[in-house]
Amino acid sequence: RDGVILINSNAAANELSWEQKSDYAYRVSQSNYQTGAAGAEYVVENVGRRAFTIGMDYVAGYEVIEGFTLAYEEAGGEVVGEVFSAPGTTDFATYLNDMRRAEPEVVFAFLSGTDAIRFIQQYDSFGLKGQIPLVGTDQLGSSLVTDAAGRSAEDIITRSPYYPTIDNETNRRFVEEFQSRHDRLPDLIDCQGYDSGQVIARAVEEAGSAEPEALIEVLRGISIESPRGPITIDPETNNPIQNYYIGENVWDGERIEVEVIETIEEVAMPPSPPN
């Protein structure tokens, strides 16, 4: 509105790339649609063709679950149940009973923070772990969640644009430098912040100016080499085209680590909302 360029390092609302797309706003993270849809075909082909979904009861939850459902059904899967839990839910028993009764082949979850920790632990104690595979978004593989959930988080399949275990030279350097400064592994949000800095620096260098109109010309289609792999800002959506990774939570004897088991290359957001 004021002619200032916004480099969005984390907000994932779909409308930022669709209804509210602006020449002055560019996303370096990912959209909720991407987060839901990426990897849905992998789930159909490798985990289960009948899914039950659970998301948090707010905008991101609905958008992620919608993205997953659309892509999962397009790939030949069937969603047999869907629930949304209020943020801060402490007892998931009602939802877990719903899952058991629906007899799905897989459960897909979009939960974060303490909600994710409680759900993972209760999924295990309820006896569903080992019976119905649990898959989800990056939050279910985040060390902040898995360190608290312990071995209850073992064997969960997740998808994310970034894991600290991605095997490329850029990421190895990033992880080493980040650990030396912060004494912990970087997560997706850390990588997004790093990449936002890269995009700003590259745009100013290529434009030869910090003036908004000059930056707009180079931000459309700009590319960087990220710890998550190559990223290009799609001029159709101002959203990154990027790899997504399928990861499995593996117990290494002391804690959960995400093992990357598949790469889905060049995941883009559609230029308009799918039907």
Average pLDDT over residues 4-11: 94
Distance CA 67, CA 224 (A): 26
Q: Domain segments of the chain: what residues?
A: 1-268
Q: Could you tell me the two tokens for 16?
A: 């930022």
Phi (first) and psi of residue 118, to 5 degrees? -65, -45
Percent residues over pLDDT 90 in the chain? 96
Q: Which residues, 6 or more positions from 160, have their beta carbon under 8 angstroms from its beta carbon?
A: 137, 138, 141, 188, 244, 245, 247
Q: What is the pTM of this model?
A: 0.94
Q: Is the pLDDT of residue 132 over 70?
A: yes
Q: Could you tell me the two tokens for 140?
A: 């279910």
Q: Could you tell me the two tokens for 14?
A: 């779909």
> pLDDT tens digits, residue range 143-152?
999 999 999 9
- Binned at pLDDT 50, 70 and 90, residue 3 comes out as confident
Answer whether CATH 3.40.50.2300 is correct for domain 1-268: yes
- Binned at pLDDT 50, 70 and 90, residue 1 comes out as low
Burial 42-55 (b: 16+ CB within 10 A, else e): bbbeebbebbbbbb
Q: Which residues, 6 or more positions from 253, have their beta carbon under 8 angstroms from its beta carbon?
A: none
Distance CA 36, CA 160 (A): 10
> pLDDT tens digits, residue range 34-66?
999 999 999 999 999 999 999 999 999 999 999
Mean pLDDT (the chain) is: 96
* DSSP bridge pairs for 82: 53
